Amino acid sequence: MSNTSRILVVDDDPDIHHLLAAALKEESYLIEDSEDGLAALSLLKLRPFDLVITDIRMPGLDGLELLRRIHEIQPGTKVLVMTAESTPATVIQSLREQASGYLSKPFSLDAVAQTVALALRAPAPRGDIEILSAVPHWIALQLRCQLEIADRLVPFLRELATELSAEEREDVGTAFRELLLNAIEHGGGSDPSKTVRVDYVRTAQSIIYKIWDPGQGFSFQDLSHAAVSNQPESPYQHCEVRSKLGLRPGGFGILLTRHLADELIYNEKGNEVLLIKHVPRPVGPESH
């Protein structure tokens, strides 16, 4: 039983407890339930949990305040927050309080299982993400160069693209993740003493993700390790190059992102990129 992860689910909706139990039933987790934040704190004072999954909107003690107080009494505890009403404020505050992940209701059983497994595998957040700007139309973050931070950050930023369809949000999240992995791995050398800057900018007609890394940049003529350089007759040639260089499997980032983003713009040096997704212009009196 020592290898069994202990999970606490906090939500005032009984249906959510049943849904999460169904999503996690295939794993050997020990799951306890709590219907409010104060009761959850009492449990946490009695025994540690590997992961807490908490709703944001609850009577008494809400999920964001619970998140803050959990890190006071059990600093190493990982916390996933979930909500049916995402706003820039809740996303920013969740990041500020070092949440391990973000679940937007309604969610699928597979999404829950994957998010929980990822959170349990990843190291506990320890100031890996610093908020530099927190206004809703311009959020700026500074991240340590660690690959697992990319998977942690994507769900938060995806929640900000509320004007997009679910499929478009998934596409933008995939494209952003690939660019961020490149910045962390190639620009920062996966060195946690170095940092990458990420900006989310919302204009009237676009969502812009800007990623800067501390590396020397690159030239598109010198990307033999990336799929974008492959010839049509050799679509996987870059995989051999990556294997020889000791790089992780992949290298499809730039090629994939070009198909998923509306615009992809690099600076001259190659260490800064803009991923641009156009959003529909509002229909109504204010748009005329």
The pLDDT tens digits for 25-76 are: 888 899 999 999 999 999 999 999 999 999 999 888 899 999 999 999 988 8
Helices 148-158 and 166-182, packing angle to 10 deg: 150
- The CATH code of the domain that includes 143 is 3.30.565.10
pLDDT of residue 126: 82
Last residue of a domain, one of 82, 106, 126: 126
User: What DSSP designation does 285 have?
Assistant: G
Tens-digit pLDDT profile for residues 140-175: 999 999 999 999 999 898 888 878 888 888 889 989
CA angle, 91 as apex, 67 and 49 as ends, to 5°? 25
Overall size of the chain counted in residues: 288
Number of folded domains in the chain? 2
Q: Is residue 6 within a helix (H) or strand (E), and if so which, with residue range?
A: strand 6-10
| Domain shared by 110 and 192, yes or no | no
| Domain shared by 99 and 168, yes or no | no
Q: Is the dihedral of CA 176, 179, 184, 187 positive or negative?
A: negative
| Domain shared by 169 and 279, yes or no | yes
Distances 206 to 50, 157, 209, 223 between C-alpha atoms, Å: 39, 14, 10, 29
Query: What's the domain range around 18?
Result: 1-126
Q: Which of 36, 33, 41 is nearest to 17 (CA)?
A: 33
Give the Cα separation of 37 and 257 in Å (integer).
Answer: 41
| Domain shared by 57 and 194, yes or no | no
Tens-digit pLDDT profile for residues 244-270: 666 666 555 566 677 788 999 999 998
Last residue of a domain, one of 83, 103, 126: 126
Residue 180 banded pLDDT, cuts 50, 70, 90: very high
Number of other residues whose CB lies within 10 A of the CB of residue 277 = 21
**Both tokens assigned to 32:** 């306890």
| Domain shared by 88 and 188, yes or no | no
| Domain shared by 14 and 134, yes or no | no
Give the CB-side neighbour count of residue 137, counting CA atoms within 13 A: 5
For the chain, the distance separating the N- and C-terminal CA atoms, rounded to the nearest angstrom, is 64
| Domain shared by 163 and 82, yes or no | no
Give the Cα separation of 21 and 158 in Å (integer).
Answer: 25
Whether pLDDT at 225 is above 70:
no
